């Protein structure tokens, strides 16, 4: 599962790379003959061309990247339009409704206000009060991405404004769920872009950019390695630009998400742990009125153990399974009733609310 890579970014601790404590080299008894340096040679043409492409993209895109500062932390954002709308992650904004933004190109902080969050997809839109001089990003079509494509991640990791890391598109179409914590929305992201570009705390909400200078994703998560107890290097995830643009456009036009395009059961539940300490299913705590679950006859106390033939031992597995379906799909749902009997019901899925 992913680990949130934004939101609460701590101050960076820098260690000086000086000479103190360096090993002492004893003097030479015989004077050494200075080595003759090889003649300087120009970089190979392909390398030089790649460097120039990086430089061009960075110079073009960085003015569209902002640092978002709230009372509890910081993250990144991407300028969406000339009116001052900025796309970021919901977990970067958190509970804040007013925040300050600063720019990689300098200048005084500007006040911004929350327009709306879409917590289920970990996206949010804020609006800068003073939009003068804002440079909207150019957006790309994430549906055209290819595995192996070179990308740059731009943002403000650890508060280091205007930082850039490079990597490739490692995989497409991942489904990842954020761990639930005070700094996370616990969102499930469908169709995520996996990248080897480093995503560190503070990068969240920034830009994943192709070498044409187009934003093709919103960096959101860094994978964690449970065996090492920390981040797994080179495994990060970004929300595809097509999803981010669709959600942002709805928020700006309607003030909320009116079409999430995501299936929903209409329950609130939690993971049930068995006697052996292992998860056994999703306990239904609340069945929402007139929801798909209510129409299918689900009741409080039921335990969902599979949907559409896919096992759902945890709430995250249930949520991820739902991302493989569309609103209106009819699927079998396997449940264990409070009396211990196992039952299979047919559910016509509803749509995940944008509230």
108 is catalytic: no
Q: What is the C-alpha radius of gyration for the chain, rounded to an integer number of angstroms?
A: 24
311 is catalytic: no
Q: Is 256 exposed, middle or buried (0-12, 13-18, 19+ CB in 10 A)?
A: middle
Fold annotation for 63-128: Thrombin, subunit H (2.40.10)
Among residues 79, 111, 109, the alpha carbon closest in space to that of 98 is found at 111
- The pLDDT score that the predictor gives to residue 29 is 35
Kindly list the distances between the CA atom of residue 44 and the CA atoms of 149, 236, 308, in Å, as whole numbers in the listed order: 21, 31, 54
DSSP string for residues in 112-164 = EEEEEEEGGGTEEEEEES--TT--PPEE--GGG--TT-EEEEEE-GGG-TTEE
- The pLDDT score that the predictor gives to residue 161 is 84
Q: How far does the chain reach from its first CA to its final CA, in angstroms?
A: 25
Round to whole Å and give the CA distance between 330 and 327: 9
pLDDT tens for the chain, 355 residues: list them: 444 444 434 332 222 233 333 232 233 333 344 445 555 555 567 888 898 999 999 999 999 999 999 998 899 999 999 999 999 999 999 999 999 999 887 889 999 999 999 999 999 999 999 999 999 999 999 999 999 999 999 999 888 888 999 999 999 999 998 876 666 667 899 999 999 999 988 899 999 999 999 999 999 998 877 776 667 788 999 999 999 999 999 999 999 999 999 999 999 999 999 989 999 999 999 999 999 999 999 999 999 999 999 999 999 899 989 988 999 999 999 999 999 999 999 999 999 987 7
Catalytic residue, from 91, 170, 241, 313: name it.
Answer: 91
- The pLDDT score that the predictor gives to residue 184 is 66
Token pair 């300490």: residue: 277
Catalytic residue, from 64, 76, 163, 204: name it.
Answer: 204
- The pLDDT score that the predictor gives to residue 214 is 97
- The pLDDT score that the predictor gives to residue 354 is 79
Architecture of domain 263-351: Roll (2.30)
CATH class name, domain 138-254: mainly beta
Catalytic residue, from 85, 122, 163, 184: name it.
Answer: 122
Phi-psi region of 104 (alpha: psi -120 to 50; beta: other; left: phi over 0): alpha
Structure pTM? 0.82
Q: Where in the chain is the domain with CATH 2.40.10.10?
A: 63-128, 138-254
224 is catalytic: no
Q: 215 near 239, Cβ under 8 Å?
A: no
Which residues face 66 on adjacent strands?
A: 77, 103
């Amino acid at each position: 599962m992913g680990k949130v890579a934004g939101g609460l970014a701590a101050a960076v601790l820098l260690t000086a790379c000086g000479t103190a404590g360096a090993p002492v080299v004893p003097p030479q008894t015989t004077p050494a003959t200075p080595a003759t340096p090889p003649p300087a040679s120009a970089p190979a043409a392909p390398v030089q061309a790649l460097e120039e492409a990086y430089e061009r993209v960075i110079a073009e895109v960085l003015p569209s990247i902002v640092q978002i500062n709230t009372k509890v932390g910081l993250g990144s954002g991407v300028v969406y339009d000339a009116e001052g709308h900025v796309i970021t992650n919901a977990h970067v904004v958190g509970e804040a409704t007013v925040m300050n933004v600063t720019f990689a190109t300098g200048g005084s902080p500007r006040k911004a206000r929350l327009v709306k969050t879409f917590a289920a997809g970990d996206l949010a839109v804020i609006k800068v009060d003073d939009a003068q001089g804002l440079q909207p990003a150019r957006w790309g079509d994430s549906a055209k991405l290819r595995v192996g494509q070179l990308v740059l991640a731009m943002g403000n990791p650890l508060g280091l404004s205007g930082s850039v890391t490079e990597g490739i598109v490692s995989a497409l179409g991942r489904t990842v769920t954020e761990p639930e914590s005070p700094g996370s929305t616990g969102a499930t992201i469908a169709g995520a872009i996996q990248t080897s570009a480093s995503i560190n705390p503070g990068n969240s909400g920034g830009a994943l950019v192709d070498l044409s200078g187009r934003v093709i994703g919103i960096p959101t998560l860094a994978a964690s390695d449970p065996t090492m107890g920390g981040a797994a290097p080179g495994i990060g995830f970004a929300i595809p630009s097509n999803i981010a643009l669709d959600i942002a456009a709805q928020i700006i036009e309607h003030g909320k998400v009116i079409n999430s395009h995501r299936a929903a059961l209409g329950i609130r539940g939690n993971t049930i742990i068995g006697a052996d300490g292992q998860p056994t299913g999703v306990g239904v705590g609340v069945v929402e009125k007139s929801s798909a679950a209510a129409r299918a006859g689900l009741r409080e106390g039921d335990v969902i153990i599979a949907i559409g033939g896919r096992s759902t031992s945890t709430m995250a597995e249930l949520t991820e399974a739902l991302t493989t379906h569309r609103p209106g799909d009819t699927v079998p749902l396997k449940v264990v009733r409070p009396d211990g009997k196992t039952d299979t019901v047919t559910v016509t899925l509803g749509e995940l609310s944008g509230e």
